[in-house]
């Protein structure tokens, strides 16, 4: 297939504009700022927010579009990556061709447009995973994955930026909800119970384990159910779901043919002054020390890839117990997005502990790759 460079399907003036906007400075926002600003959803604030996004989103999107053009090992030329690049260029064009936002009607139209942009980018993660898979198929087996460090670093930046873009759009759109649930400001829950979110995420992970293996280990949660702090419940759900799913899979596979009862997966929620820490502990046999560096890379999964050249992305939306190897690195980015982190400590022959640190201060700026 002939490689379609961006300039062939997009006008030269658009490509030049992308280059120009990609050099501009990004502006980060903190969880606290989003929360305080969003707690006063006045018409004027909607317009201010839309004006900010009208300038900020093209800068962030342009940066990613430029990077998508210049990836190593020919990744930029893979059909799936070209598709993602086109989505970014289309979104940049939509934003730049939208006139200045002066009143409530402009703001309403702008909100509909960025909503559509968010939907356009829904499948970026599986599509990029497919691109990496297309690269792996044709890559020289002598190249070790550690040498593909450039690609890992690019994907870290790319997905971190995507989390930020989706947070900003989602926050703006959700603020328009005329009847928000109590304590909810856009995407943020000002009194989120980590124990409750962990319970819901665990139940979701168990039902998938049940579907895949016919049974699932129990999950026990320790922590104060009344403790709350401001955070984004969907982000926390994504991270805990991923960690519990990995633990359930490890325990299930270790005890599948055993007479012994599979041990519980344990979740402990601790509230410190700086951090809320959630520990997910399993006795699933652990990970060898040599394998630990690989678990945060995008080119490694111990499971069969549910995405392949022939599957439609929509089919691949069904969550499996072991996805395309992106769960852990992306969970770590979600944690870092608001100033937290994710660490994995393993005892080979016994089990694994995952420590999810969430900053409860809420005043760290977004990382801006």
Residues 345, 255, single domain; the answer is yes
* Domain of 108, in residue numbers: 12-184
Domain boundary (116, 149, 184) is at 184
Give the CA-trace dihedral at 291, 208, 205, 350, to 10 degrees: -40
Residues 21, 166, single domain; the answer is yes
* Dist. CA 325–CA 330, nearest whole Å: 10
* Dist. CA 260–CA 250, nearest whole Å: 15
Which CATH number goes with the domain that contains 278? 3.30.565.10
159 is a domain residue: yes
5 is a domain residue: no
Question: What 3-state DSSP class applies to 165?
Answer: helix
* Dist. CA 201–CA 234, nearest whole Å: 10
Residues 198-257 have pLDDT tens digits of: 999 999 999 999 999 999 999 999 999 999 999 999 999 999 999 999 999 999 999 998
Backbone angles phi, psi at 361, to 5 degrees: -80, -30
Domain boundary (154, 184, 214) is at 184
222 is a domain residue: yes
Specify the number of domains making up the chain.
Answer: 2
Q: Are 26 and 62 in contact (CB under 8 A)?
A: no
- For tokens 């270790």, the residue is 254
Closest CA to 233 of 303, 174, 319, 159: 174
pLDDT of residue 55: 98
Domain boundary (184, 219, 246) is at 184
Residues 117-166 have pLDDT tens digits of: 999 999 999 899 889 888 888 776 666 655 578 888 999 999 999 999 99
- For residue 282, list its beta bridge partners: 352
Residues 16, 154, single domain; the answer is yes
Banded pLDDT at 7 (limits 50, 70, 90): low
Residues 147, 171, single domain; the answer is yes
21 is a domain residue: yes
Report CA 148 to chain centroid distance, whole Å. 21
Residues 320, 199, single domain; the answer is yes
Residues 8-53 have pLDDT tens digits of: 678 899 999 999 999 999 999 999 999 999 998 899 999 999 999 9
Residues 82, 227, single domain; the answer is no
57 is a domain residue: yes
pTM of the complete model beyond 0.95: no
7 is a domain residue: no
pLDDT of residue 293: 86
Residues 148, 16, single domain; the answer is yes
Q: What is the mean pLDDT of residues 321-326?
A: 63
Residues 29, 158, single domain; the answer is yes
36 is a domain residue: yes
Question: What 3-state DSSP class applies to 230?
Answer: strand
Residues 51, 135, single domain; the answer is yes
Residues 179, 200, single domain; the answer is no
Instruction: List b or e across 339-351, with b for residues whose CB sees 16 or more CB atoms inside 10 angstroms.
Output: bbebebebeeeeb
364 is a domain residue: no
Share of the chain above pLDDT 70, in %: 89
Which CATH number goes with the domain that contains 115? 1.20.140.20
* Dist. CA 321–CA 337, nearest whole Å: 25
What does 14-57 look like in DSSP terms, one character per residue? HHHHHHHHHTSPP---BHHHHHHHHTS--HHHHHHHHHHHHHHH
* Dist. CA 12–CA 22, nearest whole Å: 15
Residues 67, 111, single domain; the answer is yes
* Dist. CA 342–CA 156, nearest whole Å: 14
Q: What is the mean pLDDT of residues 77-90?
A: 96
Residues 257-313 have pLDDT tens digits of: 899 999 999 999 999 999 999 999 999 999 999 989 888 888 765 555 555 545 554
Residues 177, 199, single domain; the answer is no
């Amino acid at each position: 297939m002939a490689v379609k460079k961006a300039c062939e399907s997009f006008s030269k003036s658009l490509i030049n504009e992308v280059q120009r906007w990609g050099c501009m400075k990004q502006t980060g926002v903190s969880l606290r700022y989003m929360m305080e600003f969003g707690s006063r959803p006045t018409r004027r604030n909607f317009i201010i927010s839309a004006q900010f996004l009208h300038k900020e989103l093209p800068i962030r999107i342009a940066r990613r579009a430029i990077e998508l053009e210049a990836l190593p090992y020919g990744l930029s030329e893979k059909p799936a990556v070209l598709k993602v690049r086109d989505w970014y260029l289309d979104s940049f064009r939509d934003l730049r061709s939208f006139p200045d936002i002066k009143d409530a009607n402009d703001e309403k139209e702008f909100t509909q447009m960025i909503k559509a942009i968010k939907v356009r980018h829904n499948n970026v993660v599986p599509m990029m995973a497919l691109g990496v898979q297309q690269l792996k198929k044709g890559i020289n087996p002598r190249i070790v994955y550690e040498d593909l460090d450039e690609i890992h670093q690019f994907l870290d930046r790319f997905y971190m930026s995507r989390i930020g873009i989706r947070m900003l759009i989602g926050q703006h759109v959700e603020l328009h909800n005329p009847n928000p649930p109590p304590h909810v400001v856009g995407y943020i829950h000002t009194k989120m119970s980590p124990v409750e979110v962990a319970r819901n995420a665990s139940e979701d992970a168990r039902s998938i384990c049940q579907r895949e293996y016919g049974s699932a280990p129990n999950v026990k949660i320790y922590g104060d159910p009344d403790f709350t702090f401001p955070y984004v419940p969907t982000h926390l759900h994504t991270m805990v779901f991923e960690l519990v799913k990995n633990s359930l899979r490890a325990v299930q596979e270790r005890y599948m043919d055993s007479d012994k009862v599979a041990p519980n997966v344990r979740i402990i929620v601790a509230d410190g002054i700086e951090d809320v820490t959630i520990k997910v502990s399993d006795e699933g046999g652990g990970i060898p020390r040599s394998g630990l560096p690989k678990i945060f890379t995008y080119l490694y999964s111990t499971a069969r890839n549910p995405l392949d050249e022939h599957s439609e992305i929509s089919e691949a939306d069904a969550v499996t117990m072991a996805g395309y190897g992106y769960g852990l690195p992306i969970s770590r980015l979600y944690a870092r997005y608001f100033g937290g982190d994710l660490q994995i400590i393993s005892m080979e022959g016994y089990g694994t502990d995952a420590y999810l640190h969430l900053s409860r201060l809420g005043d760290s700026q977004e990382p801006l790759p």
